[in-house]
Amino acid sequence: MSLLHPDRLFPAEPVTRSIAKRLYGSIERLPILSPHGHTDAKWFAENLPFPNPAELFILPDHYVHRMLYSQGIPLEKLGLDRRNPHDLKAVWRLFASHYYLFRGTPTRLWLDYAFQELFGLTESLSEANADAYYETISAKLALPEFRPRALYDRFHIEVLSTTNSPLETLADHRKIRDSQWKARILPTFRPDAVVDPDYEGFQNNLARLGEISGEDVGTWKGYLRALEKTRERFKALGCTATDHGHPTAATADLAPGEAERLYEKVCAASSTPDERALFRAQMLTEMARMSVEDGLTMQIHPGSFRNHNRAVFEKFGRDMGADIPTATDYVHALQPMLNRFGNEPGLIVILFTLDESAYSRELAPLAGHYPALRLGPPWWFFDSPEGMMRFRESTTETAGFYNTVGFNDDTRAFLSIPGRHDMARRMDCAYLARLVAEHRLDEEDAQQVAVDLTYNLAKRAYKL
């Protein structure tokens, strides 16, 4: 018995499937580049055993939270209320008894991949075998070969980037760098906490930024210097990219005096909602300017209505599965920034979306023209087999393959990384196989494209 069919995700038609299998065979064992994710550098700095299956598979994974919560399971019962510790074996049993909810989802494929490939479990998880699963996984997690650094090596990861606030000390990254371990665990600069006036604690965050950087953030010029110095601090530890999770893709290009007056209002907490939105827009353009100067690749992740469920946010905080996609404009929103920097040969701006309707209408034409723009892979709600196929079908005819950046897993669930990359590789091969079968691409070219989508494009775009 097996949880995973060797031909999963390949086309059902035999000739096309055989092409896809050949293409996949040429890339299956290429190293993993994970240039954007949310794993914790502390795991690798301390290299302690992962504590138990529930804290490994359930607590950090909002894909799991939201599905179970949607079926009426309180988040408290999933152990997410840290003020009231829960029996984590009971959490695992609850998860196992509802594992059927994940049928047909990418989460099910990622989890089954980890269960089978890492722990040798080949019977589908259920209420009946929940304890056996828990004990098997727990026993293996205690072994040296299941420590974080050993798994990083076992997964054949070449680079793993974390996501970090400018207010972090990056002590764990320094500890990794100073150790004898030769892995590349790199920070990514995510400045939302100090560029979004609606971010909780914004004024306190600004004060902390000033303390860390040694700059006077009470002035516009001092604030910009503080951000520039922080980017340099990140770069010194290997950072190659920034990441911006704004509500929209809006950019602005204000005159220096206007920007300074706007910052004064934002800094004093006396700004209107429209002024705060304008400030966020200006800061995307400022970040693009800084990227032109320091070479960091810029990632823009707009279009999520964050913390939509206020009751959940107030009790449990961010990243509990209550972020919802919204329609997003790119053509008008990005024009101010692109007017200044879209033709810069050294700038790379990677655009992500949660609005698939923008793929063929806006994103592919923009990336197919501006030298600075690239398209990020299907992200978040669309890092699924269908989402990946829709992305290729919607963007390739206009932007081609080489204005995209391969795949990134964007995950907090470390053990899902190999399964996520395997899914992306299989889906790219399925798409390429169809082009070969339809005589739109010869197989030799398709093999090169498969290698590029798996490895070369990410390495180039993220300057790895």
What CATH number is associated with residue 131? 1.10.2020.10
pLDDT tens digit string along 73-126?
Answer: 998 888 887 666 678 999 999 999 999 999 999 999 999 999 999 999 999 999
Q: What integer pLDDT is reported at residue 101 of this predicted model?
A: 97
Evaluate whether 430 touches 19 at the Cβ level (below 8 Å).
Answer: no
Q: What integer pLDDT is reported at residue 312 of this predicted model?
A: 77
* Residue 203 pLDDT greater than 70, yes or no: yes
Q: Does residue 393 sit within a domain?
A: yes
**Local structure of residue 189 (DSSP, 8 states):** B
Q: What integer pLDDT is reported at residue 72 of this predicted model?
A: 94
Same domain, 180 and 282: yes
pLDDT tens digit string along 222-235?
Answer: 999 999 999 999 99
Q: How many CA atoms lie within 13 A of 303 on its CB side?
A: 20
In whole angstroms, give the CA distance from residue 342 to residue 288.
Answer: 9
* Residue 262 pLDDT greater than 80, yes or no: yes
Evaluate whether 245 touches 329 at the Cβ level (below 8 Å).
Answer: no
Share of the chain above pLDDT 70, in %: 99
Answer with the one of 96, 126, 145 that is the final residue of a domain: 145
Answer with the one of 101, 119, 145 that is the final residue of a domain: 145
Same domain, 22 and 109: no
Q: What integer pLDDT is reported at residue 320 of this predicted model?
A: 72
Q: Does residue 328 sit within a domain?
A: yes
Same domain, 270 and 405: yes
Q: Does residue 8 sit within a domain?
A: no
* Residue 321 pLDDT greater than 90, yes or no: no
Share of the chain above pLDDT 90, in %: 89
Same domain, 36 and 60: no
What number is the average pLDDT over the span 282-308? Answer: 96
Q: Does residue 395 sit within a domain?
A: yes
Q: Directed axis angle between helix 220-235 and helix 256-267, to 10°? A: 90
In whole angstroms, give the CA distance from residue 297 to residue 277.
Answer: 23
Longest dimension (CA), the chain: 69
Q: Which of 211, 204, 232 is nearest to 296 (CA)?
A: 232
Q: What integer pLDDT is reported at residue 85 of this predicted model?
A: 67
Same domain, 196 and 282: yes
pLDDT tens digit string along 156-200?
Answer: 999 999 999 999 999 999 999 999 899 999 999 999 999 999 999
Same domain, 231 and 159: yes
pLDDT tens digit string along 406-440?
Answer: 999 999 899 999 999 999 999 999 999 999 999 99
Q: Which of 191, 283, 278 is nearest to 234 (CA)?
A: 191
Q: Does residue 4 sit within a domain?
A: no
Q: Does residue 210 sit within a domain?
A: yes
Same domain, 258 and 170: yes
The CA R_g of the chain, rounded to the nearest whole Å, is: 22
Q: What integer pLDDT is reported at residue 81 of this predicted model?
A: 76
H-type alpha helices, 324-412? 335-341, 358, 364-367, 385-399
Q: Does residue 167 sit within a domain?
A: yes
Number of domains in the chain: 2
Q: What integer pLDDT is reported at residue 138 of this predicted model?
A: 97
Contacting residues for 202 by C-beta, under 8 A, at least 6 apart: 193, 194, 196, 269
Same domain, 57 and 35: no
Q: What integer pLDDT is reported at residue 111 of this predicted model?
A: 97
Q: Does residue 408 sit within a domain?
A: yes
The CATH number of the domain where 195 resides is what? 3.20.20.140
In whole angstroms, give the CA distance from residue 303 to residue 286.
Answer: 20
Same domain, 312 and 429: yes
Q: The pTM is what?
A: 0.96
Answer with the one of 85, 117, 145 that is the final residue of a domain: 145
Same domain, 280 and 346: yes
Average pLDDT of the chain to the nearest whole number: 95
Q: Which one is predicted more confidently, 307 or 24?
A: 24
Identify the domain containing residue 379 by its residue range: 14-48+147-461
Same domain, 268 and 358: yes
Q: What are phi and psi of 97, to 5 degrees?
A: -70, -15
Same domain, 212 and 352: yes
